[in-house]
Amino acid sequence: MQNEISKQDIINVAQSINKSVSESQINWILENYNSQQKEDPKTNWSLIVENMLYQLPLMEKQFNLMYNVGRAKYVINIHNGYDLTDDGSLFFGIRLFSNKRLFEKAQKDLIKQGYKQTN
């Protein structure tokens, strides 16, 4: 049994716990609500939304750098702020570079786009 929730439901739960939410965060909750609800179908919908709201601080655009991984000289792992793996952990895409100049330019471009470096 899946319940439908609205944007206003999410906003109301966020206000009740003194959290502000952006439009992209609301959309992430709407997209992932059913999978969270399937894990514990007897849980009240507002508790599921509240739990998802507490997970949001982890959901920021971020990247980290690695060097000399296999045959790649420079590696950037990128998380776009909302993609998760099947087990619920953050999904990171990967970009490989052999040129230091392009590697540094890619870092600067990510920072301009609002990504935060985590290492």
d(CA 67, CA 62): 17
Q: Are 117 and 107 in contact (CB under 8 A)?
A: yes
pTM comes to 0.58
Domain contains 2: no
Measured in whole angstroms, the distance separating CA 38 from the mean position of its chain's CA atoms is 20
Decide which of 58, 79, 98 is a domain's last residue. Answer: 58
Domain contains 14: yes
What is the pLDDT, as a whole number, of residue 103?
98
22 or 112: whose pLDDT is higher? Answer: 112
Q: What percent of the chain has pLDDT over 90?
A: 50
Domain contains 105: yes
d(CA 11, CA 2): 20
Burial of 38 (0-12, 13-18, 19+ CB in 10 A): exposed
Domain contains 1: no
Quote the number of domains for the chain.
2
